[in-house]
Structure 1
Amino acid sequence: MAQTASAALMPAWNDCRRSFIGWGAYMGLIAVYCVLHTAIVEAAPVDLADSAAWPLREWGMWLLLTPLLWAGFRRAQAKAGVSRSAAWRHGALCAAALCLALACRVGLDVLEGARAASSLVHFLPRHATALALVVLAWQLAGRREDRELVRTAISSEPEPDPAPAMSATLLVSQGRRERLVQLYEIDVVSAAGNYVDIRCGDEVYLLRSTLTQLERTLPPGQFVRVHRSHLVNLSSLQHMTRTPAGNGSVVVRGGHVVPMSKKYRSVLKASCAIPAIDA
């Protein structure tokens, strides 16, 4: 419940904070300008209190009107969405805010002895411009919030499902017969043109594929290339031999010997720990 209330109050708090920062900075600049104009142009004593009070009297009502107007925009948009109804609501809110701002400023002028009509003509363009700036700030803030919502939605999207587990079998042929062999049964895969030989113990099967194509589909880390024409199953390795030239061979289950080239010997040694025998 407390979290819900906090989330509901957050937009209003942000509106107030932005209004006070924006209008506060603007009125502060005007106060500084008044001080400099009085001291340099008029060469008169500076009244800091009057310099600070004048911009507050001129624009202070917008400190409160801005967050109220933005809250009205947000509520109207939530009720009507992006439609003509929302546009009419926004227009009515703008007209009400402008009338209220003018009533406050003209009222102060009338209390000081000015005529209402002349004061209204004088202040109408200023406060209409202020209203336009408030609406523009609302549009910019809304676009920023939309971008943040998009980023949040993207970051909260569920991770894609992992790729389905690779098949643990291969459909191979032996003459006119076909059978499924388990990957753990395979000892060696050897290139044979557009085919590969699949050796499982004493049995050799045929599969229509190149060695490179099949290597891409086999589980990484289970099969390793020891020669440009041979892959071996790491779980089938018994030991390897090497020659002074750097080449050698590996022995798999059943005593079958597979040639090993110097190029792939370091890859094999990095993939597993098997005893090495000098030739």
Structure 2
Amino acid sequence: MANPISLFNYVPLGLQRREISASVVGWGGYMVVLSCYCTLYQALLMPTPPDFIGSLVWAVREWIVWLLITPLVFKSLRRNINGSLANYLRLGSIILVATVSFRVSVDVLTDTRSAVESAMIFVPRYIAAVAVVLSLWHIYLLKSLTAQASTSSAPALLESPADGKPESKATYPSVILVSKGNDQCLLQINKLECVVAARNYVELFADGDQPYLLRMTMSDVQALLPPADFVRIHRSHIVNIHAIERIKRQSSGNDLVRLRSGRELNIGRKFKEALDQFDVMRACSD
């Protein structure tokens, strides 16, 4: 059995830099745009001369806390990568309380506003900021983490020996991060029955009828699976050979694989040879 390798325990350095870059570029760009807007507002509607530097200083003072805290939020999400709504709400509440408290404290200490007035101003703004940061993580960085970790943990294959069976020089992951409904969970690869292509996703079937979802190509998924246990039987199907009950011959030549769960999958003509290396065609054929 492969050593347990969690796809999210390996954090590529490039991804960590991407998290920092996302914070700096995102919030830095936002503050510059906000400063330009304020300068334009001053030029068109205010009697005083426009002051871009003053506007930039104001924008930095208002939003600098988010530039600093966003990489810490990403790091926290990496350590607890459960993508459930409850997890996001819990973390979002902590971030909101921390940032609003900081902003209110600054306003009170500098006699800019009262605590109540400051809270009334910044709570709705920072709720929106929390939503943006968590959405950025879930939509962009989480998928990058999964894809990069998958690529990094996928073994490099040696040249095939004389018997045609691929050999690996590295271990394969024993678990994979997948989506089920609104949640994300770990699926043990040795319990995986089959993988089926579904447009921009793949469906992974293990226990029960409901599939797990993964945003990845069939080729990328195949690279994660130990070739001694999994075989691609169709451009849209990968099966666990231990889950095969029989091969159903068809007069049309379009044979089927019947799995122990009762699920039946087509065998692509050009993939029949892949099954031969496991002798399942002879052992399980009708």
TM-score scaled by length of structure 2? 0.46
- Larger Rg, first or second structure (1 or 2): 1
TM-score scaled by length of structure 1? 0.48
Greater share of residues in helix: 1
- Give the number of the structure with larger relative contact order, counting CA–CA contacts within 8 Å between residues 6 or more apart: 2
